[in-house]
Chain A
Amino acid sequence: MTCEGYREEFNHALDTGTHERPSEEMLEHTHSCTACREYASSMLGLHADLLSLPVEQPSRALLQELSAIGGSEGSPALVLGWKPEIRRAMVLLIFLLPVLLLWIFPAAWAAPAECCIVTAVLAWLFTDILRPTFFDRTGGRSADS
């Protein structure tokens, strides 16, 4: 194994967490190469330092500024993870669905079971799609505005 090969493999081992179980080939190389032994030692120290660096807390002023972004710029507090165009298309589909069903299966409206299923599906879609489309928790602004 060359020094270059060893260092590449050692770095990969650090990334995958397998550096504590080096291969036979790597062990042989470290026994014979002082430079790579020192390299591994310094890299392990650096790796440990990087893992244990403390997290710095941002200033209170910054946190207030960040919170103010949501409040001052007047956009939705609540949004749905679908594209607005898709949401609008789905809302339109909900309104058109009964008309389409009536047009395709006029007899289905006579059966109470079918009516119940369609009503349940529409209710579910209303809950999940219409509410976030038209209202948000801050008082009814459109989520798309």
Chain B
Amino acid sequence: MPPRVFEFNQVVQEYAVSVYNHAHRMVGSREDAEEATQDVFRKVHAGLAGFRGEAKLSTWMWRITANVCLTRLAARRMETVPIEGEPALGDGSPDPERQLIDQEECRCLAKLISALDPREASAINLFYYEGLRYHEIAEILSVPEGTVATLLHRGREKLRVLFQKGVRL
């Protein structure tokens, strides 16, 4: 069977919204999400010619997206250390307008997801928004299926605790 042919602009049309939303829920801010989305599609563009089709295109896309977001979050955490046990809600800027925006943003569940451990956030996103199953998430995150269950369980538990603390949509 001849392999499937992929066109970059079709990939953009098909995945831009999902990748952007995934990145937004991972990195928290709109600006970072836009930059992460651009990084993802630059990598996709560079790698498309070498894509062997061994995995599904969507799996490959989500793996790139997860890696880009994890890298950005790791770089950000090198710069700022969040308060233990609290979600990293703001960017530390003293600008009151920015703080107001952040307070508004932290009301949404997406913002709460971005406060989770990046792997937990990734698993939650892939499970709830992309509708992927354990084995697909495991392939994307390169972890065993049992770990996926643990990530989902822990992520939900943390979100539940945040909800109980009074943080709402």
Contacts and interface: CB of A to CB of B under 8 A. Distances in A.
B152 A81 contact: no
B161 to A, nearest CB: 10
Interface residues of B, number: 43
B34 interface: yes
Given A11-B153, A66-B38, A81 B159 contact: no
Contacts of B37: 58, 62, 66
Given A55-B17, A56-B21, A83 B9 contact: no
A50 B124 contact: yes
A39 B153 CA distance: 13
Contacts, number: 115
Interface stretch (B42-50, B63-71, B76-84, B87-95): B42-50
Interface of B: 2-9, 12, 16-17, 20-21, 24, 34, 37-38, 41-42, 45-46, 48-53, 109-110, 124, 127-129, 134, 149, 152-153, 156, 159-160, 163-164, 169
Given A62-B37, A76-B48, 12 more contacts: A14-B156, A42-B160, A42-B164, A46-B156, A55-B17, A56-B110, A62-B38, A69-B41, A70-B12, A77-B9, A79-B49, A82-B53
25 contacts: A11-B149, A11-B152, A15-B127, A15-B149, A15-B152, A42-B160, A43-B156, A45-B163, A46-B160, A50-B159, A56-B21, A58-B16, A62-B37, A63-B12, A65-B38, A67-B9, A77-B9, A79-B5, A79-B6, A79-B49, A80-B3, A81-B4, A82-B3, A83-B50, A144-B49
